[in-house]
Amino acid sequence: MTFAQPCLRWADRLDNGIRFIGRSLSWVYALLVAVIILQVILRYGFGHGLVALEELEWHLYAIGVMFGVAYSQVLDSHVRVDLFHTRLRRRTQLWVDILGTVFLLMPFLIIVFLNSLDFVYDAWRIGETSDAPSGLPYRWAIKAVIPLSFGLLFIASVSRILRSAGELMTKGGAA
């Protein structure tokens, strides 16, 4: 058994977990649409919108986007400069992915993750709520999405590195 096989097996396990989370949380968009429709009906049909619903909209949107980034990393559907990437040989693409992830993405993820912990803790400690009188309570809960989603993106990045390394070892990164 080569070192590539365990790399690919671990990448598959990590990817499956993140795919499950991504598919599960994709339902947040259906809920978001329902909340928006309800808010529109209340505001324009009855002349009375709710601040809590407006805040819930951006909370749901934030959850979808923040966790969706890890899902897109696993699917390799994230934005990159394909103008250059597609012109490279497969082996070079894999090395660019590995080095870019290790030296650019992961340090950024670690910095945001570590700095967001105090941000969430402070919001929880003081019982932070919305500034609006009729807004949502528990502001720490939405702030907790930051370290959770960045941690998940870190795991997705480890998976991407393992998958790229495994492909380099098995196929030599041939086109």
Closest among 171, 164, 157 to 71, alpha carbons compared: 157
Secondary structure of the chain: what % helix, strand, coil (to 5)? Answer: 80, 0, 20
84 pLDDT tier (thresholds 50, 70, 90):
confident
Say whether 148 sits in a helix, a strand or coil: helix
* Three-class secondary structure assignment of 3-50: CHHHHHHHHHHHHHHHHHHHHHHCHHHHHHHHHHHHHHHHHHHHCCCC
pLDDT, tens digit (0-9, with 9 covering 90-100), for 117-127:
999 999 999 99
CB-based contact 60:108 (threshold 8 Å): no
pLDDT at residue 81 above 80?
A: no
Comparing 149-153, 156-160, 165-169, the range with the smallest average pLDDT is: 165-169
pLDDT at residue 65 above 90?
A: yes
pLDDT, tens digit (0-9, with 9 covering 90-100), for 43-53:
999 999 899 99
DSSP strands (E only) in the chain: none
1 pLDDT tier (thresholds 50, 70, 90):
low
pLDDT at residue 173 in the model: 57
pLDDT, tens digit (0-9, with 9 covering 90-100), for 105-141:
999 999 999 999 999 999 999 999 999 999 999 999 9
**How much is the pTM?**
0.91
Q: Stretch 23-40: mean pLDDT, rounded?
A: 97
